[in-house]
């Protein structure tokens, strides 16, 4: 089955399309682009000399096993409400990769571990930049200390980057969804500012945000405060979004029409750059002394970073054996594995 096809759900989107292009270099005529909009899928195939194929597939509806015939691996690039499709993949012995950043959904995927083991298949998630590289960097930073007492994960996104509509809508939707932090206190997204000096960028404001990494990492570090924050490279934009949250104007974003309108404006109005970055600060002890360890990552085009991570993992699973089960990225890989993909110094 490892010689079967690679099915990318949402493969004509911002991230999915870049994953397809990367994998096409090694797997021509084995990539299938799937989604509800068959015309977009067909257009993508034409643009790539028909070395990829199109498939109309709506994972929000029931998918039948025969529709996945000869599929070895699935990469999911869409947000889902339930795990029915993931369960189908595992039942059919198909490797399942998911790039979602939603912790609510990731918890549902975690629950598929027993099924995956039983069916001798594998699901891997927290795949991308955040979550993904953030998880791997956090684990690496923690290993530099004898004991971990606190961790700050800071994510920087370029306001001028070409973000997909789904990614922008996800961020906008979070502004109206408080979440439980490490101490079980309810936190509003884009609050609790912290100033971080990003490598080659300078100081930027970052705000607490409900990325899944801070929650899933507690599996490895129970009772340790781990906080993820988000900011943009344009400081006035950080202040503006913070103002929206404090003034409660953000409540207007609960309406789908306003979300879609604002997402469209964000994609059209280009300010800032396409930079993306991560800084991990691990605070604890080493040799009986209080110390902090900082690890930085800087690149461009956040969606391409996510695509590189997903494509690398797909290639690893197609060419190497991995244990059956459902795993977050840091449970099967280390940051060292990705040094060849990204320019980073693991001091």
Work out the percent of the chain whose per-residue pLDDT is above 90: 75
pLDDT digits (tens, 9 = 90+) for 220-274: 999 899 999 999 998 988 888 888 788 877 676 676 776 677 667 666 666 778 9
Range name among 33-47, 59-73, 154-168, 297-311 with the lowest pLDDT average: 154-168
Rounded-to-integer distance, Cα 1 and Cα 318, Å: 9
pLDDT in tens, 313-322: 999 999 999 9
Provide the pLDDT for residue 263. Answer: 64
Structure-token pair, residue 216 = 């899933």
Using CB atoms within 10 Å of the CB of residue 185, give its burial: 0 to 12 exposed, 13 to 18 middle, 19+ buried: exposed
Region 296-314: mean pLDDT is 96
What is the C-alpha to C-alpha distance for residues 72 and 22, in angstroms, rounded to an integer? 17
The neighbour count for residue 245, using CB atoms within 10 Å, is 18
Tell me the DSSP string of 137-158.
HHHHHHTTSSEEEEEEEEEEE-
pLDDT value of residue 104: 93
Q: How far apart are CA 338 and CA 318, in angstroms?
A: 17
Q: Which two tokens stand for residue 110?
A: 């975690």
Residue 321, classified by CB atoms within 10 Å of its CB into exposed (0-12), middle (13-18) or buried (19+), is: exposed
Tokens coding 106? 């990731």
pLDDT for res 250:
66
DSSP class of residue 288?
T
For 275, the token pair is 């930079």
Q: Is 296 left (phi over 0), alpha (psi -120 to 50) or beta?
A: beta
pLDDT of residue 163: 64
Q: Which two tokens stand for residue 261?
A: 């309108």
Tens-place pLDDT, residues 205-220: 999 999 999 999 999 9
Residue 269 buriedness (CB in 10 A; 0-12 / 13-18 / 19+) = exposed
In 10 A of CB 277, how many CB atoms? 25
Average pLDDT over residues 87-101: 97
Are 23 and 48 in contact, with CB atoms under 8 Å apart? no
- Strand, helix or coil for residue 283: strand
Count other Cβ atoms within 10 Å, centred on residue 217: 25
Q: What is the mean pLDDT of residues 314-343?
A: 93
Spatial neighbors of 252 by CB under 8 A, at least 6 apart, are 258
**Structure tokens that stand for 92 in this block:** 């059919």
**How confident is the model over 6-49, as pLDDT tens digits?**
999 999 999 999 999 999 999 999 999 999 999 999 999 999 99
Quote the pLDDT of residue 257: 73
pLDDT at residue 171 tops 60:
yes
Whether 306 shows a pLDDT value over 70: the answer reads: yes
Query: What pLDDT score does 1 carry?
Result: 47
- The SS3 call for residue 191 is strand
Q: What is the rounded average pLDDT of the residues 289-301?
A: 95
pTM for this one?
Answer: 0.93
Is 286 a residue whose pLDDT tops 90?
A: yes
Looking at residues 161-182, what average pLDDT do you find?
77
Q: Indicate whether 200 pLDDT > 50.
A: yes
Report the C-alpha gap between 323 and 331 in whole angstroms.
11
- pLDDT band with cut points at 50, 70 and 90 for residue 59: very high
Task: Give the burial class of 135: count Cβ atoms within 10 A of its Cβ; 0-12 exposed, 13-18 middle, 19 or more buried.
Answer: buried
Provide the percentage of residues in the chain whose pLDDT is more than 70.
92
Kindly state the average pLDDT of the residues 94-122: 96
Neighbours of 104 (CB within 10 A): 13
Single out the residue of 27, 46, 36 nearest to residue 78, CA to CA.
Answer: 36
Q: What does pLDDT average to over the chain?
A: 91
Confidence check: pLDDT of 347 > 60: no
DSSP SS3 for 163: coil
């Amino acid at each position: 089955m490892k010689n079967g096809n690679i099915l990318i759900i949402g493969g004509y989107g911002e991230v999915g399309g870049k994953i397809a292009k990367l994998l096409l270099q090694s797997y021509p005529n084995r990539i299938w682009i799937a989604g509800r909009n068959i015309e977009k899928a067909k257009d993508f195939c034409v643009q790539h000399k028909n070395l990829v194929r199109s498939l109309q597939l709506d994972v929000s509806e029931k998918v039948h096993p025969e529709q996945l015939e000869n599929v070895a691996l699935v990469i999911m690039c869409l947000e889902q409400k339930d795990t029915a499709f993931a369960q189908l993949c595992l039942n059919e012995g198909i490797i399942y990769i998911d790039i979602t950043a939603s912790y609510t959904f990731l918890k549902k995927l975690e629950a598929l571990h027993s099924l995956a083991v039983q069916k001798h298949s594998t699901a891997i998630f927290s795949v991308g930049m955040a979550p993904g590289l953030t998880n791997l960097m956090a684990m690496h930073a923690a290993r530099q200390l004898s004991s971990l007492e606190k961790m700050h994960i800071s994510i920087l996104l370029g306001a001028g980057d070409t973000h997909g509509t789904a990614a922008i809508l996800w961020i906008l939707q979070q502004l109206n969804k408080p979440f439980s932090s490490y101490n079980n206190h309810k936190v509003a997204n884009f609050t609790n500012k912290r100033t971080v000096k990003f490598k080659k960028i300078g100081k930027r404001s970052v705000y607490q945000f409900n990325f899944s990494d801070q929650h899933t990492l507690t599996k490895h570090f129970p009772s340790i405060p781990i906080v993820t924050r988000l900011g943009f490279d344009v400081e006035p934009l950080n202040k503006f979004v913070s103002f929206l949250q404090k003034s409660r104007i953000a409540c207007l974003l609960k309406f789908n029409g306003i979300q879609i309108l604002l997402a469209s404006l964000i994609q059209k109005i280009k300010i800032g750059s396409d930079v993306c970055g991560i800084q991990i600060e691990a605070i604890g002890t080493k040799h009986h002394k209080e110390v902090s360890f900082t690890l930085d990552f800087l690149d461009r085009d956040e969606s391409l970073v996510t695509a590189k991570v997903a494509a690398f993992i797909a290639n690893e699973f197609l060419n190497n054996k991995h244990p059956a089960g459902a795993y977050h990225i840091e449970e099967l890989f280390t940051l060292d594995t990705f040094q060849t993909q990204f320019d980073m110094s693991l001091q």
